[in-house]
Amino acid sequence: MKSKINKGIFFIFFLVLLFCFIGKSDTDKNHKATFKPVNIEGLLVASIDEDCYDDNDEDDSIIFDLIPKDKNSYNGKTLEIELSRKDKEKFLKENFNEANKLLAKKIDYAVQPVIINVSNIGVRLTCGAGFPVYYAKISSVTKLKNTKAIFLKNLNDLEDKKYKTKMKKIRPKENAEVKKLPEINASIIGKTEKGEEFMVINKYGDWYYIIFAYPAGTGYIHKKQIETELK
């Protein structure tokens, strides 16, 4: 009797595992942000936002943004550097000579010219207004030689560049292949339908880096697959 019960439990457990395996869609996996790492030169900006909290409703007031030197990249938008709350103060002190002044609120902004190796760029929507914001995950930061951190009282258009700058759009051909990476032999994560339009995060050579599964899933599409570039 006990043996039959054990076999029954094992059989139910097996069915549950089988259901999870078969029933799990690969959509989530395929639509996660994909990115080929790049180096971006620009200004790294640190600021304090006392109204900013993390998902656990804890103070998360140090904000880092990267303003790319190439104004034609990323639709002219700034990239918010994604760091955990516990790593932010360490990052600030490692990359800004007068970090303590910012922490003491003697200055409003710290700006450091850098080259950053970006391991991922994704898109999220702001709360309330729903503006698309680019966030960047970084691998390394290199301060540019013969430069000094510059502290400014204000950067008037920083928020506009981050939140309000419009994104360009494209309309691909029907059944255009959307790739996981900007490579001909990269895996296909989906195909477009007739008349679909997609927001462009940036262009890398012959490839458009697009928001494929709104608001956060990304992929690449080759310029030969584009029917119209919209403004």
Q: pLDDT tens, 101-128?
A: 888 888 888 888 899 999 888 887 665 5
Mean pLDDT computed over 192-205: 89
Highest mean pLDDT among 10-19, 26-35, 116-125, 177-186: 177-186
Q: Does 1 map to a domain? A: no
Instruction: Mark whether 85 and 134 lie in a shared domain.
Output: yes
Instruction: Mark whether 159 and 191 lie in a shared domain.
Output: no
Question: What per-residue confidence (pLDDT) applies to 102?
Answer: 87
Three-class secondary structure of residue 62 per DSSP: strand
Mean pLDDT computed over 25-42: 64
CA distance 155 to 170: 31
Instruction: Mark whether 137 and 42 lie in a shared domain.
Output: yes
Contacts of 199 (CB under 8 A, 6+ apart): 123, 132, 167, 168, 169, 210, 211, 214
pLDDT band at 214 (very low <50, low <70, confident <90, very high): low
Q: Of the residues 132, 164, 196, which one is the last residue of a structural domain? A: 164
Q: What is the CATH number of the domain that holds 187?
A: 2.30.30.40
Question: What per-residue confidence (pLDDT) applies to 146?
Answer: 59
Q: Of the residues 138, 164, 190, which one is the last residue of a structural domain? A: 164
Mean pLDDT computed over 48-58: 57
Q: What are phi and psi of 28, to 5 degrees?
A: -60, -45
Q: Does 202 map to a domain? A: yes
Tell me how many domains the chain contains: 2
For residue 174, is pLDDT > 80? Answer: yes
Instruction: Mark whether 199 and 220 lie in a shared domain.
Output: yes
pLDDT band at 155 (very low <50, low <70, confident <90, very high): low
Instruction: Mark whether 152 and 173 lie in a shared domain.
Output: no
Instruction: Mark whether 213 and 134 lie in a shared domain.
Output: no
Instruction: Mark whether 102 and 135 lie in a shared domain.
Output: yes
Instruction: Mark whether 202 and 117 lie in a shared domain.
Output: no
Compare 228 and 30 and report the one with higher pLDDT: 228
Q: Of the residues 112, 135, 164, which one is the last residue of a structural domain? A: 164
Residue 159 belongs to what domain range?
A: 38-164
Burial (CB count <10 Å: 0-12, 13-18, 19+), residue 20: exposed
Q: Does 215 map to a domain? A: yes
Q: Does 20 map to a domain? A: no
This prediction's pTM: 0.72
Instruction: Mark whether 186 and 158 lie in a shared domain.
Output: no
For residue 60, is pLDDT > 90? Answer: no
Average pLDDT over the chain, rounded to an integer: 76
What does DSSP assign to residue 186? S
Q: What are phi and psi of 160, to 5 degrees?
A: -65, -40
Instruction: Mark whether 114 and 152 lie in a shared domain.
Output: yes
Q: Does 125 map to a domain? A: yes
Q: Does 28 map to a domain? A: no
